[in-house]
Amino acid sequence: MTATVGQGTFRDNRAATVVADVMQRIRDVILEHKLTYEEYSAAKQFVIDLGVAGEWPLFADVFFEQTVEQVDSESREGSPGAIEGPYFIEGAPRLELPYVMPMRDDEPGDVLYFSGRVTSPNGEPIANAQVELWHSDNLGTYSNIPYNDDRELPPAFNLRGRFSTDEEGRYEVRTIIPVPYEIPTSGPTGALLTTVGWHAFRPAHLHIITSAPGHTPLTSQLYFDEDPYIDSDVAGAVKPGLILKLDKHDSPEELQSKNLDTPYFTTSYEFRLPRS
C-alpha cells in the first residue's frame, strides 16, 4: 500500500509515521522554547512568504538536501556523493578532445586543468564513462539560470559540458576556478539567514555527475582546501573526501607546455562509481 503526498509516495505506513513525527517535533520545539503567539504568527508568515516567492526548492535544498543525501549514501559503495543543488540543466554540450569547457573568449578567472580517473569501487578503470561538469563563473553566476537582480548573465551553457574517459578511465578538461558565492538573499530565505545571523555563502565548488553502463550515476561536488567558507558552507554539504588541493604552475617550461602566458592550476580526483 502506498500513500500519495503531492506527487511523491510513501510506502506502507511511512506517511503517517513520518508526518506524525515531524508534527510532534515541531510541538516539542514550541514547548521547549516557549514560543509566543507573536513568534508563531511570524513563522506562519514566513511559510506563506516562501510559497509566494517560489523559494521552497531553494529553502529545502539549502537546509535539508544534504541530510537526505547522507541517508541515501549510507550503504552505497564507491566515492562519497553530494547534493545536486538547484543549478543543474539538461542538455549540456558534448565536448570533443582536447576537452575545454564552453566559455567566453575573455572568460575571467584562473585557468584550471581538472583531471583524474573514473573507476569501479575496486579501482578497475571504466572506459568511455561520461563526466558531466558544471560550475559558476568568476562572479559566482551560473549560466541558464534566471537571477532576480541586474547582474550580467553568461552565455547559454557557459561552463557546462559533458565529456568521456579514455580507455584507461582517464579524463582531463580545461576550465576556470569558480569562486564562493551567496545563495539568493533577496527573498524570505535570505531574510531568515539575516534574522538568525548566518552568512549565505557556499564555498567554491565543481558540480559533477559521473555515469557508466552497469554502474549507478554518482553526483559529486568538489571543493578547494583553502576556501574561506570550507568550514561554514550555508548548505552544510562539504565532506572531507570531496576537498581538493590546487597546485599552481608558473615556470616558463610549464607555461610553454600549455601555450599560456599566465599561471595555471591543476587538481585531480578519482570517481569510484557504485555498481548498479
Residue 155 shares a structural domain with residue 102 = yes
Give me the helices (H) in 73-226, please: 188-196
- Is residue 42 in a domain? no
Specify whether 83 is located in the same domain as 15: no
Q: Is 230 found in the same domain as 97? A: yes
Same domain, yes or no, for 6 and 139?
no
One domain, residues 181 and 241: yes
Same domain, 135 and 181: yes
Q: At 37, which amino acid appears?
A: Y
User: Same domain, yes or no, for 116 and 5?
Assistant: no
Please answer whether residues 252 and 260 qualify as being in contact, where contact means their C-beta atoms are separated by less than 8 angstroms.
no
With respect to residue 125, please indicate whether it lies within any of the assigned structural domains: yes
Domain assignment of residue 57, yes or no: no
The rounded distance, in Å, linking the Cα atoms of 265 and 210 is 22
Alpha-carbon distance 31 to 64, whole Å?
Answer: 23
E-assigned strand segments in the chain: 2-5, 8-11, 99-100, 111-119, 130-134, 160-164, 170-176, 181-182, 201-202, 205-211, 218-224, 243-244, 247-249, 264-272
Instruction: Looking at the structure, tell me whether residues 30 and 89 fall in a common domain.
Output: no
Distance from C-alpha of 177 to C-alpha of 239, rounded to nearest angstrom: 19
**Same domain? 76 vs 30:** no
Cα–Cα distances (Å) from 72 to 69, 80, 82, 127, in that order, read 5, 11, 10, 27
Among 6-15, 141-150, 235-244, the minimum mean pLDDT is found in 6-15
Domain boundaries, position 27: 1-34
Please check whether residues 131 and 213 belong to one and the same domain: yes
Dump pLDDT digits (tens) for 128-166.
999 999 999 999 999 999 887 888 899 999 999 999 999
| Residue 212 domain flag | yes
Strands 243-244 and 247-249: unpaired
Task: Based on the fold, state whether residues 130 and 7 are members of the same structural domain.
Answer: no
Q: Judge if the upstream peptide bond of residue 98 is cis by omega within 30 degrees of 0.
A: yes
Residue 177 lies inside a defined structural domain of this protein: yes
Per-residue pLDDT of 75-119, as tens digits, reads 888 999 999 988 999 999 999 999 999 999 999 999 999 999 999
Say whether both 179 and 239 belong to one domain: yes
Say whether pTM exceeds 0.75: yes
- Beta bridge partners, 221, equal 207
| Tally of domains within the chain | 2
* CATH code, 127: 2.60.130.10
